[in-house]
Structures are given as structure tokens and as C-alpha cells.
Amino acid sequence: MTTISDIYAALNPLPAMLSEKGKVKPFVAFELEANAGICISMRWQKFGSSRDYDNEYEWCRGDTFDEALSKAVKFIGELPSAEQAKLQDFMGKLGRLIDIGKSEGIPVDFVNPLVKTMKRLSENVITYRPAS
């Protein structure tokens, strides 16, 4: 049987694990939901936001605590590294900037270097190998 102390000890490392993935102000909670099972909820401030209420969420449900915990740990493990997340965010912003330039009729001479940069970044992401 899992005790409250066991649950507390198992949940305590999760915010630090989220922080290692670059998540800001992580919060983790355990819930027993009537007629719905067990849930570990996680939230963190959206990347680049300074507003405390601007959050992202993930809920990991299971029939047992261990099942919900396993899902939460797996989810965190599959998140990109903090560096990869920053690069993905930058690439998204660059892509939106390219689209804005095209839709606003910005001359090709200004937009093409951005497209070339985006292509190089995309190729680097595909071949990226983190240091071991």
C-alpha cells in the first residue's frame, strides 16, 4: 500500500525534473478524483511569458498512483532539453516573421536571408546530438 509519505516523496523530485527541462515555476499536485481515478497534474509558466497566469499544463491519470507517476515521469523525460526548447521557440518565431514578411509584401531581398537561416536551423535540429 502506498502511504501519503510515499506519495510525497515520489512527487517531490518532479518540479526539479521540469526545471531541468527549462520549465519555469513548475507546480506538481496529486489528486484523487471521485469516479475518475488518480491524477498527477503539472503546470509551468509558458516559455517567454512574464505573467504568472500564463501557464501550460499536463495531466497524467491512472488507476493507481504508480501508473499516474510513471506517466508523469515518462512525459517529463520525453520533453526536449531546455536548449532544444529555446531553439524550437526561436524557430517558431522566425517562421512567423517570415510568414508576416511574405504576407506584407516585404521585398524578397529581406525575406530570403531569413528563409536560408531557417533552413540551416532546421537542418541543425535534425542532426543535433546532445553532449553525453
Q: State the pLDDT at residue 33.
A: 85
Domain check: are 88 and 63 in the same one?
no
116 occurs within a structural domain? yes
Task: Say how many domains are in the chain.
Answer: 2
Q: State the pLDDT at residue 121.
A: 72
Per-residue pLDDT of the chain (132 residues; tens, 9 = 90+): 579 999 999 999 999 999 999 999 999 999 998 888 899 999 999 988 888 889 999 999 999 999 999 999 999 999 998 888 888 888 888 888 888 888 888 877 777 777 777 777 777 655 555 544
Domain check: are 88 and 122 in the same one?
yes
132 occurs within a structural domain? no
CA angle 12, 29, 43 (to 5 degrees): 100
Q: State the pLDDT at residue 6.
A: 94
Query: 12 lies in which domain range?
Result: 4-78
Full-model pTM: 0.72
Classify residue 4 as left (phi > 0), alpha (psi -120 to 50) or beta.
Answer: alpha
Q: State the pLDDT at residue 67.
A: 96
